[in-house]
Amino acid sequence: MLADASPHRLIAMLYDGALERLALAVSGMNHGNFADKLRGIDSAQAIFDHLRSVLDYKAGGQIALRLASLYDYMMRRLVYAKIHNDVAAVQEVMELLRTIKAGWDAIAPKAN
């Protein structure tokens, strides 16, 4: 599946994966499951770090710069959430990511 996925689809899959991990973190926080909280947050941060590392600043210009700033902000919010067990901070990141994903999905290339 990954080998056949377009670059656009791969990014969408990363967004989906981050949302799943953030949901795991929220569930872990709500149920006192420290391992799920950490696994979810750490995995989501790794995805955001990867997304930031593959940005094409030359082709993407200001959009790439703004996405990098947004990924950085979301990672910082997750550090805060991890330290303070703040579900609202994780949910804020989830909402931001849903907004980004909706925009990404809207520009998906049309299949022939």
What pLDDT, on the 0 to 100 scale, is given for residue 108? 85
| Tens-digit pLDDT profile for residues 10-51 | 999 999 999 999 999 999 999 999 999 999 999 999 999 999
C-alpha distances out from residue 76 to 42, 54, 82, 92, 102, Å: 12, 19, 10, 12, 22
What pLDDT, on the 0 to 100 scale, is given for residue 43? 98
User: The whole model's pTM is what?
Assistant: 0.92
Q: Please determine, for residue 109, whether its predicted confidence score (pLDDT) is greater than 90.
A: no
Among the ranges given (26-30, 56-60, 88-92), the one the predictor scored with the smallest mean pLDDT: 56-60
What is the residue extent of each domain of the chain? 7-106
Q: Please determine, for residue 76, whether its predicted confidence score (pLDDT) is greater than 60.
A: yes
* CATH number, domain 7-106: 1.20.120.340
